[in-house]
């Protein structure tokens, strides 16, 4: 077994374990379906990428990058995309939370005032 094949198998095993972990978390509703898809895509790139080293080899030769480095680069790009998506989601949640926070305070005061007015 060549060193490259051994590395590909190791990456595939890690990707598979990671994918199983994500599926388990998703079944427990700890991660929403939207993010499950993102993480599983990352696993898929690592898993199939490592198994398809012979197919990737011509491209890696053309780009003058090692095949495994190319797979790692692909995974990092997907990771970054997930991080950006998460940042967008968190920013939106923060805005919504702030709006709810303010609405609650204003509505509460209006209710208190109308109750005082009735009394």
- Does the footprint of other proteins cover residue 76 (CB under 8 A)? no
- Does the footprint of other proteins cover residue 90 (CB under 8 A)? no
Q: State which residue, 61 or 99, has the beta carbon closest to other proteins.
A: 99
- Does the footprint of other proteins cover residue 104 (CB under 8 A)? yes
Among 109, 117, 118, 119, binds other proteins (CB under 8 A): 109
- Does the footprint of other proteins cover residue 106 (CB under 8 A)? yes
56 neighbors 71 (Cβ within 8 angstroms): yes
- Does the footprint of other proteins cover residue 84 (CB under 8 A)? no
Write b or e for each residue in 80-91: b if 16 or more Cβ atoms lie within 10 A of its Cβ, otherwise e: eebeeeeeeeee
3-state secondary structure 5-29: HHHHHHHHHHHHHHHHHHHHHHHCC
The two structure tokens encoding residue 18: 């990671």
Among 85, 96, 97, 114, binds other proteins (CB under 8 A): 97
- Does the footprint of other proteins cover residue 32 (CB under 8 A)? no
Residues that bind other proteins (CB under 8 A): 97-98, 101-102, 104-106, 108-109, 113
């Amino acid at each position: 077994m060549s060193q490259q094949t051994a590395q590909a198998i190791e990456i595939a095993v890690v990707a598979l374990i990671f994918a199983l972990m994500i599926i388990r978390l998703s079944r427990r509703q700890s991660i929403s379906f939207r993010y499950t898809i993102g993480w599983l895509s990352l696993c898929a790139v690592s898993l199939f990428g490592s198994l398809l080293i012979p197919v990737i080899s011509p491209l890696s030769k053309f780009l003058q990058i090692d095949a495994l480095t190319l797979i790692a680069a692909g995974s990092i790009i997907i990771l970054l995309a997930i991080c950006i998506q998460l940042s967008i989601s968190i920013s939106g949640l923060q805005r919504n939370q702030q709006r709810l926070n303010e609405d609650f305070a204003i509505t509460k005061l209006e209710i208190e005032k109308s109750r005082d007015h009735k009394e």
